[in-house]
């Protein structure tokens, strides 16, 4: 196999999030084409949010902290199915997810239309070691204080989504 046979494909979208093409992942990122992603905020019943540190092998934003889980929407897939899939693949958690907000593709989201979801579970998590170097369960105010002190410890997308989440109440 030459590598291209197993490469993932994404739907490339226009400024209104309408599919206009189907392109290989590497090309989408290299050319900074608009595509789709999801982020999930996983909360325990005690109100703590799970954040994870990306592995140092990640293509974008290695070794920074981000949402509980996140991922690209594959070609032909929808946002809702992707959120459930990513929660299972990255954390080993099966849970219903609630759609909170859709964010336009921009530099902070790496040109991804991004839908943020929230779910609650006290189930044990099993982080995928290919994606996740470390996890922490933290109260929102502790994350906010850390982010204020050291914003570069967090991915730009997480800073955007977390800021929106805190401001929405």
DSSP for 61-82, written as a single string = STT-EE-SEEEEPBTT--HHHH
Mean pLDDT rounded to a whole number for the chain? 93
Task: Give the residue ranges of DSSP H helices in 92-155.
Answer: 140-149
Residue 5 has pLDDT above 80, yes or no: no
How confident is the model at residue 146, as a pLDDT?
Answer: 98
Distance, C-alpha 166 to centroid of its chain: 17
Instruction: List pLDDT tens digits, range 96-153.
Output: 999 999 999 999 998 999 999 999 999 999 999 999 999 999 999 999 999 999 999 9
Phi and psi, residue 57, nearest 5°? -100, 0
All residues at 6 or more sequence positions from 152 whose CB lies less than 8 Å from its CB, including other chains:
64
Residue 4 has pLDDT above 60, yes or no: no
Q: For residue 36, what is the enclosing H or E element?
A: strand 35-43
Model's pTM, two decimal places? 0.93
Mean pLDDT of 20-39: 94
User: Per CATH, which fold does 7-167 belong to?
Assistant: Nucleoside Triphosphate Pyrophosphohydrolase (3.90.79)
Distance, C-alpha 122 to centroid of its chain: 20
Instruction: List pLDDT tens digits, range 70-109.
Output: 999 999 999 999 999 999 999 999 999 999 999 999 999 9
How confident is the model at residue 169, as a pLDDT?
Answer: 65
Q: CA Rg, the chain, in Å?
A: 16
The half-sphere exposure of 161 on its side-chain side, counting CA atoms within 13 A, is: 32
Q: Model confidence at 2, in pLDDT bands (50, 70, 90)?
A: very low
């Amino acid at each position: 196999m030459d590598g291209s046979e197993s490469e993932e494909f994404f739907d490339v979208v226009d400024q209104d999030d309408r599919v206009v093409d189907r392109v290989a992942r590497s090309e989408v990122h290299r050319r900074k084409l608009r595509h789709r992603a999801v982020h999930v905020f996983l909360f325990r019943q005690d109100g703590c949010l799970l954040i994870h540190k990306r592995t140092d092998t990640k293509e974008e934003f290695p070794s920074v902290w981000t949402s509980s889980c996140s991922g690209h929407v594959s070609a032909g897939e929808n946002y809702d199915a992707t959120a459930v899939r990513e929660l299972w693949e990255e954390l080993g958690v099966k849970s219903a997810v609630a759609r909170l907000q859709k964010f336009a593709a921009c530099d902070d989201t790496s040109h991804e239309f991004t839908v943020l979801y929230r779910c609650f579970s006290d189930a044990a998590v099993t982080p995928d070691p290919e994606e996740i170097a470390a996890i922490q369960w933290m109260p929102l105010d502790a994350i906010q204080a850390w982010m204020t002190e050291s914003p570069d410890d967090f991915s730009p997308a997480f800073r955007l989504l977390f800021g929106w989440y805190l401001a929405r109440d």
